[in-house]
Amino acid sequence: MSDDTNESTFGLQRRALLKGATGMAGILAAGMAPAVHAQEKIVLRYLGTAVNQDKAIGDKFKADTGIEIQYVAVTTDDVTKRAVTAPNSFDLIDTEFFSLKKIVPTGNLKGIDTKKIKNADKITSLFTKGEVAGKKVGDQGTAPKKVIYLEGEKSKKFSATPTQFMSLIPTVYNADTLGIRPDLIKRPIESWAELLNPEFKGKAAILNIPSIGIMDAAMVVEAAGLYKY
Q: Would the pLDDT of 12 be above 90?
A: no
- In degrees, rounded to 5, the angle at the alpha carbon of residue 73 between the alpha carbons of residues 60 and 119 is 50
Residue 38's pLDDT band, with cuts at 50, 70 and 90, is low
Residues 60 and 164 reside in one and the same domain: yes
CB of 11 closer than 8 Å to CB of 155: no
- pLDDT tens-digit map of 79-105: 999 999 999 999 999 999 999 999 999
Is a pLDDT exceeding 60 seen at residue 47? yes
Are residues 164 and 190 located together in one domain of the fold?
no
User: Would residue 1 count as lying in a domain?
Assistant: no
Query: Are 153 and 198 members of one domain?
Result: no
Task: Tell me, yes or no, whether 96 and 30 share the same domain.
Answer: yes
pLDDT digits (tens, 9 = 90+) for 120-148: 999 999 999 999 999 999 888 889 999 99
The answer on 186 and 163 residing in a single domain is: no
Name the residue range of residue 56's domain: 14-172
Q: How many domains does the chain have?
A: 2
Higher per-residue confidence, 78 vs 30:
78
Residue 158 gets which letter from DSSP?
B
| Residue 177 included in any domain | no
pLDDT band at 39 (very low <50, low <70, confident <90, very high): low
pLDDT of residue 186: 92
Query: Do 94 and 199 belong to one domain?
Result: no
Residue 15's pLDDT band (cuts 50, 70, 90)? very low
pLDDT above 70 coverage of the chain, percent:
82
Same domain, 209 and 122: no
Same domain, 157 and 195: no
Query: Could you tell me if residue 78 is inside a domain?
Result: yes
| Last-in-domain residue among 150, 172, 194 | 172
- Residue 2 covered by a domain: no
List phi, psi (to 5°) of 185: -75, -35
Q: Do 98 and 195 fall into the same domain? A: no
Q: Over 50: is that where the pLDDT of 197 sits? A: yes
Q: What is the domain-level CATH number for residue 44? A: 3.40.190
The C-alpha atoms of residue 207 and residue 186 are separated, in whole angstroms, by 24
Task: Please indicate, yes or no, if residue 9 is contained in any of the structural domains.
Answer: no
Same structural domain for residues 203 and 130?
no
Per the CB < 8 A criterion, the answer to whether 193 and 176 are in contact is no
